[in-house]
Structure 1
Amino acid sequence: MIMVVQELLWNSVRNRPDRPAVSDRTERLRWSELGARVAATADELTDLGVRPGDRVVALAGPCVRTVVLMWAVLELGAVFVPLHPGLTRMQVDHVVNDCDARVVVADGPAGAPLAGGRRVIDLADLPRVSAAPRPRRATTSENAPALLIYTSGTTGNPKGVVCPHRQVRAAVESIGSCLGYRSDDVIACRLPLAFDYGLYQLLLAADCGAEVVIVSAAEDVRLLRIIVERGVTVVPLVPSLARMLIALHRHRPVGTVLRLVTNTGARMAPALMEEFLERFPRVQYASMYGMTECKRISILPTNEWRAHPESVGRAIPGDEILILDENGEPVGTGHPGEIVVRGRTVMSGYWGVPMEAQDRYRRALDGSVELHTGDRGRLDDTGRLFFMGRNDDIVKRHGIRISLNEIESAAERVEGVDAAVALHPSGPSESLTLCFTGPADPDSLGITLEEFLDQARAPDRIIRMDSIPLTHNAKPDRRQLENLCLGTVS
């Protein structure tokens, strides 16, 4: 049996037609209704010339219509390319050109044509009229691309990660087996659907028949109320969302039926999660590690977090984690090195880039593809992974190689520090700046950090910020923070 991604949808349509599937602040669809909308939208895309293998760019925010579009694109055997609507025109043009998009669908008026004269279809113009849901209309290979997800491009133009049906299905199966999503779960997704962490909530929900409640940024002040009113049981978190829910609960404490929260993409300080769990005591927390290039790498069982709060878990089923030194040789247990992943969730590479020219993906001796993450970590004797930062965040100070992640983690253990980001020095002799949010006094924080950090790791400057700027995917925006700090210092 060919296991393609869209079968997740049709299985839930057949098995749970009258159960809620997805909702936003304007509409709510059952699985049968979602299937009907998908079929009608697929017909419309066919009329627009979309064929199997074509790339369809979705420049749209998280909403039910975007969900329908994703499933319709997959139903046609085409490739779904999600983009954040906040991207600049130059960034969008790059992606549209790079993937040679057949159609661009945007959430709003079409406006001027994009790169190559491609016209933009308004998401609102796609049909809402129901059609009889049909099974797969295109014969799709498991090895064909299902998704093309562009990375943030912090070191240049973004690159599209090719995500074939086989690997996407493998990731859904492995993550689902670790997290245990259930058919009676209600998942509140406040993440962008252009962020694979958000996008996969739709796939995980379809796999088990759960409901996804899509929450927009405009509803942030109501997020806790939505969780209560909709009976939300699962929330995929990032640190900024955890802080938001803590603040909302502090303002108006309420009971919830939350049972599970997760985190990936940005480091969750143990102290922050401790405070979250104090306010939501029935909740279990799964710490995870991954990257778009292979979706998920490791998940820590919920019952191990309190004993190992710094760990991001063991390799998910079907994958293997290696820790290699600078010469590509395995290191011993407990020793740091580069995190390398092999297994069934490793995606097939970057769009349009020959394998020999790829920096992350490399062909192993047995012909399989390995992912060299560029991240540093270590494994304990049970296979638990401890993330130590990116290779880009390893700097040399006073003749010692240090990780900026070490400094941030130390600061976030201090009372009065909500979040901390250490900025990359421009050279070995340049000063090291630590930015933080929270009520702590910068001078007192510096004195406290002297107890935890040696001279090579101690920051030269500590700046308290009102907030840490975030990227579209809710990760710290280091470039913007550096610019803000330059202004603060001057």
Structure 2
Amino acid sequence: MIKTIHQLVKVQAQIRPDCPAIGEKKRWLTYTHLNEEIETLARSFLSLGLNKSERVAVFLPKCFESVISIFATSAAGGIFVPINPILKPLQVGHILSDCSATILITNKSRYDTLKSVLPKSIKGIVITDDSNEYPSSSSVLSWFQLHTLSLRNPSLPDILESDTAAIFYTSGSSGPAKGVTLTQRNLILGAQSVAQYLDNSSSDRLLLALPISFDYGFSQLTVSFLSGGSCYLFEYLFAKELIKVVQQQSITGLALVPTAWNQLANLEWPKAASQNLRYITNSGGALLEDILKKLLKQMPNVKPFLMYGLTESFRSCFLPPEQALKRPTSIGKAIPNAKIFIINVNGEECEPHEQGELVHAGPLVAQGYWGNKEMTERRFKATPNRLKELPSEQLAVWSGDIVTKDEEGFIYFVGRNDDMIKTSGYRVSPNEIESVICKHNSVADIVVFGVPHKQLGQGIVTLITVKPDVQTSDLLLSIKRFCGLHLPNYMTPHHIDFCLEIPRNPNGKHNKTLLKKQYQNVFQEIFSKHGGLNMRESKQGMSAKKGVTVNVINQ
């Protein structure tokens, strides 16, 4: 019985040793080779002094080294922390400090940008591109030098399914990113649940185009390894590249977020590109009905799986392919190994068409937020309708998402009960953006919120008041550059307004309810007026709102 993620590879190395496991560019590793690499690196980590449950951070693009590092950390008894490669040093430094990482796996270019933010907890840094610039030392090793430590040949420890395996960082409703803590059992059951409804097998070849730091991306690896299939790692800039690699690599399963599907729906899919494609999946936001129809028109034999999930519970719901066009706005029903409740303000289960909060219970629920008891107690609470006679409390994750269900039990997303922004497949904290932009020397006050955006789900709107005597010429360009230096692209505002004073409610807080109402249609108006602009193209003009100068950064 498989109880840990590194065992997924070890078992397949015994069953199908010469079959391809992961591919990158023109290279492939068989299950035997991958398992050998994982066990070698695990021994190297132990020789380097990695103790049980210490954190190994992986800050790399999708590559063999990132996958091997993650699964080797598991085999060595550590906790892996995948970091999104598009994050800037400010966010990476926070993650490294928050989890007290002891080992960092990265490459030379990224290491050079992180030197000023590395916490004292880091005792080992591994540079994967084998640069000669960093000679062997007590703290910095090349990938090759790390491997030589395995010659000391320490035995690998026994790992339990209850051991903490991973920390995935995701934005919280306030402040910087929070670390969602997952056990080996969480990850294995998650892979089994998804593989069950996708009907994955050893004949599948999945495309990993999403970040490994995204649980939806990481699961492409675990589902593939569980099924004995293969997974191709791919970094892309343009949607056309995805179609090309789907065809070249005979991809059978393609997982993406709405922004990518929106782009692909408007491109031509050659028959050869989709002839091997068995299914597509969407998560990270709603896929518009017209986009879905465009996709299925070009690949009529492909099964679409529309999914909904939280990092805190991996995956919650999926809509079966046969329901996709019948109920295109539904997020479906609970996946295997999940129990979903819809709870109203009185703490009772909702009747059909009654709005309530989606609550996810069962073995997929994470252990909480790393080192953050307050946030854990706020989001992870007692399971509704649990038996009071049970000696231990069963926890569920309270999503903050407001949903309804119909008479047949299909669930529909309504909105959020907090200020979280869902954009480009990411959950974004307005406070995290505000805390960065407010450090610009011209900003006196700032508020950030999300409003509907046809392509992104929600667009990020930022309203700014500037300090007295600040010259407003070139101020937008200055703030854009500042955001580019300190925020990843998905956190960068899509619309910026400057005003004399930001409205506040009677409690003195920014009146986001009023502002969201005022800006509800801002992106619809922009698209209607300009026909849509390319990424990061800008327009300047005058606002209809009291003559306020407007500077729009438009997607």
Same-fold status (TM-score > 0.5): yes
Unmatched runs of 5 consecutive residues or more in structure 1 = 396-403, 413-417, 443-462, 470-484
1:136 is displaced (CA, Å) by 8.7
User: Counterpart amino acid of 2:371?
Assistant: G
> 2:533 is matched with which residue?
466
Task: Tell me, yes or no, if the aligned pair for 2:100 and 2:119 is still in contact at 8 Å.
Answer: no
**How big is the shift at 1:356?**
8.1
Partner Cα separation in structure 1 for residue 154 and residue 49 of structure 2 = 20
Does residue 431 (structure 1) correspond to residue 518 (structure 2)? The answer is: yes
CA distance in 2, matches of 1:326, 1:159: 26
Matches within 5 A, 1:81-100: 81-100=81-100
- Superposed, 1:178-217 pairs within 5 Å as 178-217=197-236
State the 1:206 CA deviation.
Answer: 0.5
Mapped partners of 1:13, 1:486: distance in 2: 59
1:341 and 1:370 in contact (8 A); partners too = yes
Cross-structure match for 1:400: none
Give yes or no for contact 2:281–2:306 (8 Å, CA) kept in 1: yes
Q: CA deviation at 1:305?
A: 1.1
The equivalent residue for 1:385 is 411
What corresponds to 1:293 in structure 2?
Answer: 312
1:238 is aligned to 2:257: yes
1:293-442 matches, cutoff 5 A: 293-354=312-373, 358-364=377-383, 366=390, 367-392=393-418, 408=452, 421=458, 426-428=512-514, 431-436=518-523, 441-442=528-529
Using the TM superposition, name which of 21-30 and 184-193 deviates more.
Answer: 21-30
**Contact 1:172 1:204 (C-alpha < 8 Å) held by counterparts:** yes
Counterpart AA for 1:239: P
Shift of 1:465: 3.9
What CA distance in whole angstroms lies between the structure 1 residues aligned with 2:24 and 2:238? 10
Distance change (3 Å), C-alpha of 1:389 and 1:116: same
Question: Are residues 362 and 258 of structure 1, via their aligned partners in 2, closer, same or farther at CA, if it must alter by over 3 Å?
Answer: same
One-letter code of the match for 2:299?
F
Question: Any idea what SS the aligned residue of 1:323 has?
Answer: strand
List aligned pairs for 1:38-49, cutoff 5 A: 38-49=38-49
Cα RMSD (Å): 3.2
Which consecutive unaligned segments of at least 5 residues does structure 2 have?
Answer: 130-141, 422-448, 462-510, 537-548
Match of 1:120 among 125, 131, 135: 125
Aligned-residue offset at 1:218: 4.5
Name the CA distance, whole Å, in 2 between partners of 1:235 and 1:466: 27
Matching residue's letter, 2:418? D
Shift in CA distance, 275/36, structure 1 to aligned 2, threshold 3 Å: same
Residue identity matched to 1:101: A
- After superposing the two structures, state which structure 1 stretch, 306-315 or 346-355, moved more: 346-355
Corresponding residue number in structure 2 for 1:152: 171
Report the 3-state secondary structure (helix = DSSP H, G, I; strand = E; otherwise coil) of the residue aligned with 2:326: coil
Cα deviation for residue 115 of structure 1 reads 1.4
Provide the C-alpha distance between the structure 1 equivalents of 2:406 and 2:162, rounded to a whole number of angstroms: 35
Q: Report the CA distance shift for 1:95/1:215 in structure 2 as closer, same or farther (over 3 A).
A: same
| Aligned twin of 1:222 | 241
1:384, distance to aligned residue in structure 2 (A):
1.6
Q: Which residue of 2 aligns with 1:29?
A: 29
Which has the larger displacement, 265-274 or 347-356?
Answer: 347-356
What CA deviation, in whole Å up to 9, does each residue of 1:122-141 have, x standing for no partner? Answer: 12332497999x99921112
**2:55 alignment counterpart:** 55
Shift in alpha-carbon separation, 1:271–1:468, aligned structure 2, 3 A: farther
Letter in 2 for 1:72: A
Letter in 2 for 1:50: L
CA contact (8 A) 2:19 2:31 kept: yes
Kindly provide the amino acid, as one letter, of the partner of residue 368 in structure 1: Q
Larger Rg over CA atoms: 2
Map Cα deviations across residues 238-277 of structure 1 (whole Å, 9 max, x no partner).
Answer: 1222133334426x66542111000111221111111011
Alignment coverage as a number of residue pairs: 437
Partner of 2:500: none
Q: What letter corresponds to residue 372 of structure 1 in structure 2?
A: W
2 CA distance for matches of 1:165 and 1:106? 24
Contact 1:76–1:137 (Cα < 8 Å) also in 2? yes
SS of residue in 1 equivalent to 2:402: strand
Given the superposition, is the C-alpha separation of residues 421 and 468 from structure 1 closer, same or farther in structure 2, using an over 3 Å criterion?
farther
**Cα separation, 1, equivalents of 2:237 and 2:420:** 37
The answer to whether the 8 A contact 1:376-1:390 is kept is yes
Match for residue 481 of structure 1?
A: none
Check the 8 A contact 1:41/1:126 in 2, yes or no: no
1: CA distance between counterparts of 2:420 and 2:209? 32
Provide, for residues 372-402 of structure 1, a one-character-per-residue CA deviation record: whole Å limited to 9, x for no partner.
000010122332211112223699xxxxxxx
Match of residue 473 from structure 2: none
- Does 2:487 match 1:487? no
In the alignment, is residue 137 of structure 1 matched against residue 156 of structure 2? yes
In the superposition, relative to structure 1, how do residues 393 and 231 fare at CA in structure 2: closer, same or farther (>3 Å)?
A: same
- TM-score scaled by structure 2? 0.72
